[in-house]
Amino acid sequence: AASTDRSSSSYQQHLPGWIAQSASTADLPHTLRSLWRCFDGKVFADDRDITVEDATAEETFPDGKDAVPGMFSARFDGGDIEHKFRRVHKILQAHNFPVLMVDAGIGDNFGKLTQNYLNKIEKEKGVLICVCTAHYAEKTSSPFSSFQELQFALDYSLDVLPLKVADVYPPKPPGGPKHPHDQDCEAEALIKMIFRPNLAYKDCRKLDEMEIARLIADKLLKKKQVSGHGGEGGYIQR
C-alpha cells in the first residue's frame, strides 16, 4: 500500500494543480469536466496551469446571450497588453458575449472589420471598450487607428468603458510640432473630450484575465438591462 501511495503521489506531481487536487479528492466528475474545458480551448488561450480557483470562477461566469455588443479599442502593437486582452476576448466569447476585436494580422480586412464593428455597436447601442495604455488614441497614418475609433465614439455619442492598464491615466498620446501625424495635438484634445474627470474607469493593472472579463461582462449585461448612464462607464454627452 505504501508503494502504491508513493507511486500515486509521484504521478500527481506531474499533473497540473487543478487536476491533481480533483484526483486527490476523487472528484471524478469535476476532473473530467475541467479536462474537457481545458482541452476544448474554451477557458484560456495560453498554456498556463488552470487553478481550482480559475475553474470555480469559470463555472460561475454569467452567460452573455442577452448582453449588448462590445468592441475592444486598443493599440495593436503585439505587446503583452494586446496578448492579455486577446485572452480576455476569448473568455467572453466562450460565454456567449457578443464581443468584437479586430486582428491586426489580417491585412486589408482590418479596416473593413473595424468599420463594421463600429457600425454594429452604434446600431445596437453597444459599448466601446477602451484599453487605455499610455499611448492609447495616438494619431497615426492609419484611418482605422484607436484615435479614429475614439473619434467615432465622440461623433456618435457612444457608451465607452475605459480600462486603466498603465500607471498613466488618462492616456497621454504623443503629439506636437515634431510628431509626423499630429502636430496640433488632436489626440490629446480628443482624450480630454472623452475621458473627463466624471467618467469612471476600471483599474485593471492588477487584475488577471478572468477578473477583467468579469468586469466587462457586468457592464455589457447592465447596459442591456438599464437605459441611461452612470458610474459604470458612460455616454459621451453633447
Contact (CB, 8 A) for 163 and 132: yes
- Check residues 152 and 55 and name the one with the higher pLDDT: 152
Q: What type of residue sits at position 221?
A: L
CB count, 10 Å around CB of 105? 9
Q: Mean pLDDT, to the nearest integer, of 79-98? A: 97
pLDDT at 50 over 60: no
Domains of the chain are: 2-59 (no CATH), 70-235 (3.40.50.10140)
Instruction: Provide DSSP, 157-223.
Output: T-EEEEEE-SSS-S-----STT-SS-TT-HHHHHHHHHS-TTS--EE-TT--HHHHHHHHHHHHHHH
pLDDT at 17 over 70: no
Identify the pLDDT of residue 108. Answer: 62
For 139: left if phi > 0, alpha if psi spans -120 to 50, otherwise beta; the answer is beta
Contact (CB, 8 A) for 128 and 71: yes
Identify the pLDDT of residue 12. Answer: 46
What percent of the chain has a predicted confidence (pLDDT) above 70? 68
Q: What is the pTM of this model?
A: 0.74
Identify the pLDDT of residue 124. Answer: 97
pLDDT at 196 over 60: yes
List the single range of 59-68, 131-140, 209-218 with lowest mean pLDDT: 59-68
pLDDT at 166 over 90: yes
Identify the pLDDT of residue 119. Answer: 98
